[in-house]
Structure 1
Amino acid sequence: MDEEYDVIVLGTGLKECILSGLLSVDGLKVLHMDRNDYYGGESTSLNLVQLWKRFRGDEKPPETLGSTKDYNVDMVPKFMMANGALVRVLIHTSVAKYLNFKAVDGSFVYNKGKIYKVPATDVEALKSTLMGLFEKRRARKLFIYVQDYDENDPKSHEGLDLNKVTTREVFAKYGLDDNTVDFIGHALALHTNDDYLDKPAIDTVKRMKLYADSLARFQGGSPYIYPQYGLGELPQGFARLSAVYGGTYMLNKPECKVEFDQNGKAYGVTSEGETAKCKKVVCDPSYLPDKVKKVGRVTRAICIMSHPITDTNNSDSVQIILPQKQLGRKSDMYVFCCSYSHNIAPEGKYIAFVSTEAETDRPEVELKPGMDLLGPVDETFFDIYDRYEPVNNSQKDSCFISTSYDATTHFESTVQDVLSMYRKITGKELDLSVDLSAASAAAEE
């Protein structure tokens, strides 16, 4: 403990573990500590007994649910885009070799009380029952434009400078109706609100391309992949990586008090009477509560079921996005479902999450549109947690704090926070130009 480090990382949540691994690979001397005696922090995975203990105290889970060790229930479950930044980070760091991925069966969107497969290409647009005949043709033209778009080839731009024209203007050019705009923006480009409509269209086009490219990678029913046995192996994979490069890990370290000099700059962390010195501190919001502000709350339901979700082609794993406008809300709702096919539950059992940004104090009422899609459930746990984001000046106090996990059931916003933190900590961009065929090799069809 009395040594000096370049960086001390507090908390073994997924974001902190990724950063610990990346910084160790860069040659920095890293000490990683956690007040808990397990990896994962808020993003940990629980077996059945642990799940009951967390939500129901001393109550025991019913024997009808099967063996406790067959359950790996991620507390912050998120699918990964097959071509996305997190997969690139996994390959860049070689953590991918510690994991086995499996494609997710389905990607759906809620529209007017029903769910539909999200069309992502010109071919899928023509097949989709989500749109009428004329709207299909208009959407198809947009998808062809997006597929052919190449930033470096002006011929593919069709006279549009996507760095200047807004997404709203591009959608208007193709004559898309509100429902089509809704599913493209929220279920395909994965925007969490409608602010994107009045911003340069280049971001939305890149997001649409990412979705289509990820979908093509495994020729499956969705662009998403998910590790066998859930996300619990991810923090440990990055911890292993950090250790390979000389990082030091200490679990079960109480208090972990960040020490500041007279100028308000962090210089070390004290635990059990010993102080480890450092140049920078990286942590989750719980370690520096005075340097974060509450920005919202996530409300969610965790459900154990004995069947796949209706109208998803009997998919063993699926994401459904319920756009805010469809629900008359300010924020989207997300349904995540996974099962024994990814080894996170015994055969015949399914774990579903319904989550959204809380707008009331009544999760049972607020989550009803998503819950109604699930059908009969064996057990349900309701939960609300606060979301925080940093308000400190990291250049002045040398503290780099992650934001809390949002309600989304995909990793796109999470990994953007990691890349932004890496940029602030190191002053450089992370090179993610990697060979994605390695991800294909790691994933099972």
Structure 2
Amino acid sequence: MESLSDTLWDVVISGTGLQQSLLALAISRSDKKILHIDPNEFYGGAEAAFSLQDAESWVARVSAASGGLFKSASIQTPEGTTGLTSSRAYSLALAPKLIHARSALLSQLVSSRAYRQVEFLAVGSFYIFKPSQDSPQQATLARIPSTREEVFLTTAVSTKGKRLLMKFLKFVLDYESPSQLEIWQSHADAPLTDLLQQEFKMDAELQTYIVTLTLSLDGKTSTRDGLAVIRRHLSSMGVYGPGFAIIYPKWGGLSEIAQVSCRAGAVGGTVYMLGTDIKEMETAENEIKLQLTSGDTVKTRMLVRADDSPSDGTGISRLVAVISSPLNSLFQAVVEGAPRPAVAVIAFPAGSLSTAAGKASQCPVYLSAHSSETGECPVGQSVLYLTTLSTPDAKEVLQQALDAFVGVTSDGHPTSQVLYQLQYEQLVGADTFGVEGPVFTLPGLSSSLSFSDSALEPVHEAWRKVMGDAAVDEEYLIFTDREGAMDDDDVYE
């Protein structure tokens, strides 16, 4: 085998985030020579999942770095708490995303045969946190009905409200038809709440139910975007089984898909090097010379990398907590024959929380509760991922949301303890695919809570660039079975 320096690589891919890993997989069954490197000692990039020890090392690196997509990272282990087990018993996702069953990502995992190495779990109910004006101990969680059956069965909505919800659900499923366009087109760029109030006569509570399903971090999603998201949610219901529309990859979310893609890519011939960054780059007419931190000098026809510089957009604040409760009441199947869900989503609407100074929360807070079935924590514990838009009060608001959630799920008995907290800010990356000659730059990390298929478009475009005249769109990520290719569990580094 030729050495790294003696080989003229067709493409060098830097970073093992989801997009780069899918790209390497897409190219891997061609005759291209692919070198896939990552400056980190782990797979997944900004979408990685960490053990407790790895999270501590990551926080130290973020604190020492002067740039990048993450900042203000810290770990807190409350005094007097016990219950944390070995570091490797945890797999905490940096950027967990929910995946709708109708996502093109799932179709590509199936067509590439990579899906066989990923275990997906059902995301169950969506809840709204309802504070009590009389006492914090009387706060409640109300389940959002998002199917006909749930609307009929819920006791949290009045008879009139049920009729309005049924009317809206029927409308959304057919909202792009000519007969429905005239209802919403004049509201297309206005907030979705305007349509709900003016055309469907919904009160503020019903509007909150609907807007929560969009997973909008500012609560101000437009009618055009909001209808598309809710339509995807409703059309995803029942695709992979009754009672759920969204799935989540076991063992750390998108990080697991990235690792599976890398393993399959390695079987297809891609060479992997972790802990290796680009130190210097020199571009000639027909090739790029890269000086790597490993000491190797490699030549390549093309370079693909990710944009890890923040854009001017607003970032988000995250809080990851491990608690000493299995939260069994949240992970119940609500439809007969449905699998037991491993994830539940709780929304804290804007204004439902307040700071110590009495200032109401400006933006919604979303809490994604994960049971031990996700493989992210030991049995008997749960992992909570809390997210809100970055504001001066965001850190305090996230803490208030965590405390309120623990209180409302303890039935007045302080049996749940917060065992561990990881807090950080995630900056939004650039959202464009960059091309500078033979150097291609994939967009940075988005702030959305659900996976958007728009993230797959630059991967497809980069594949076209690398494949050149050999690119046939109808064959993109469509592979036939190859003996042993998907049964190889080796880690390629």
TM-score normalised to structure 2 length: 0.72
Question: Is 1:346 aligned with 2:378?
Answer: yes
Between the aligned partners of 1:84 and 1:181, the Cα distance in structure 2 is 25
Question: Is 1:419 aligned with 2:457?
Answer: yes
Between the aligned partners of 2:424 and 2:364, the Cα distance in structure 1 is 16
Task: Return the letter of the residue paired with 2:429.
Answer: E
Task: Return the letter of the residue paired with 2:330.
Answer: T
3-state SS of 1:64 partner: coil
Between the aligned partners of 1:54 and 1:277, the Cα distance in structure 2 is 31
Between the aligned partners of 2:230 and 2:433, the Cα distance in structure 1 is 34
Question: Is 1:337 aligned with 2:369?
Answer: yes
3-state SS of 2:378 partner: coil
Contact 1:364 1:382 in 2 (8 A): no
Per-residue deviation, 1:368? 1.2
Contact 1:316 1:339 in 2 (8 A): yes
Task: Return the letter of the residue paired with 1:180.
Answer: L
Between the aligned partners of 2:21 and 2:281, the Cα distance in structure 1 is 22
Instruction: Report the equivalent of 1:138.
Output: 164
Q: Paired residue for 1:77, among 81, 96, 99? A: 96
Between the aligned partners of 1:381 and 1:118, the Cα distance in structure 2 is 28
Task: Return the letter of the residue paired with 1:298.
Answer: I
Task: Return the letter of the residue paired with 1:270.
Answer: Q
Instruction: Report the equivalent of 1:403.
Output: 444
Instruction: Report the equivalent of 1:208.
Output: 230
Per-residue deviation, 1:143? 0.7
Task: Return the letter of the residue paired with 2:233.
Answer: Y
Per-residue deviation, 1:239? 0.4
- Measured against aligned partners, the alpha-carbon deviations of 1:355-411 in whole angstroms (never above 9, x if no partner) come to 2222126624444124411343332324223414238872335331332252x5432
3-state SS of 2:384 partner: strand
Question: Is 1:101 aligned with 2:120?
Answer: yes
Between the aligned partners of 2:31 and 2:185, the Cα distance in structure 1 is 37
Question: Is 1:237 aligned with 2:260?
Answer: yes
Matches within 5 A, 1:285-434: 285-286=307-308, 289=309, 292-293=310-311, 295-309=313-327, 312=330, 316-324=342-350, 326=352, 329-360=361-392, 363-375=395-407, 376-390=416-430, 394-396=434-436, 398-406=439-447, 408-412=448-452, 415-423=453-461, 426=464
Task: Return the letter of the residue paired with 2:47.
Answer: S
Contact 1:7 1:282 in 2 (8 A): yes
Between the aligned partners of 1:389 and 1:48, the Cα distance in structure 2 is 26
3-state SS of 1:91 partner: helix
Contact 1:266 1:280 in 2 (8 A): yes
- Measured against aligned partners, the alpha-carbon deviations of 1:398-431 in whole angstroms (never above 9, x if no partner) come to 331332252x54323xx42233453366379977
Between the aligned partners of 2:35 and 2:141, the Cα distance in structure 1 is 47
Q: Which runs of 5+ in 2 are unaligned?
A: 60-73, 132-138, 333-340, 354-359, 408-415, 466-470, 479-493
3-state SS of 1:213 partner: helix
Question: Is 1:269 aligned with 2:290?
Answer: yes
Identity of aligned residues (%): 19
Between the aligned partners of 1:431 and 1:127, the Cα distance in structure 2 is 45
3-state SS of 1:295 partner: coil
Instruction: Report the equivalent of 2:214.
Output: 189
3-state SS of 2:315 partner: strand
Question: Is 1:39 aligned with 2:48?
Answer: no
Q: Paired residue for 2:273, among 250, 267, 279? A: 250
Between the aligned partners of 1:285 and 1:67, the Cα distance in structure 2 is 34
Per-residue deviation, 1:237? 0.6
Instruction: Quote the RMSD (CA, aligned, Å).
Output: 3.9
Per-residue deviation, 1:335? 0.9
Question: Is 1:14 aligned with 2:18?
Answer: yes
Per-residue deviation, 1:162? 6.3
Between the aligned partners of 2:184 and 2:312, the Cα distance in structure 1 is 35
Task: Return the letter of the residue paired with 1:282.
Answer: V
Instruction: Report the equivalent of 2:154.
Output: 128
Between the aligned partners of 1:78 and 1:192, the Cα distance in structure 2 is 13
- Measured against aligned partners, the alpha-carbon deviations of 1:227-265 in whole angstroms (never above 9, x if no partner) come to 333334322111022223332211121x413625489x9
Instruction: Report the equivalent of 1:442.
Output: none
Structure 1 or 2: larger helix share? 1
Contact 1:81 1:214 in 2 (8 A): yes
Contact 1:108 1:321 in 2 (8 A): yes
- Measured against aligned partners, the alpha-carbon deviations of 1:299-342 in whole angstroms (never above 9, x if no partner) come to 22222212144863667531223344655555432212212223
Bigger Cα Rg: 2
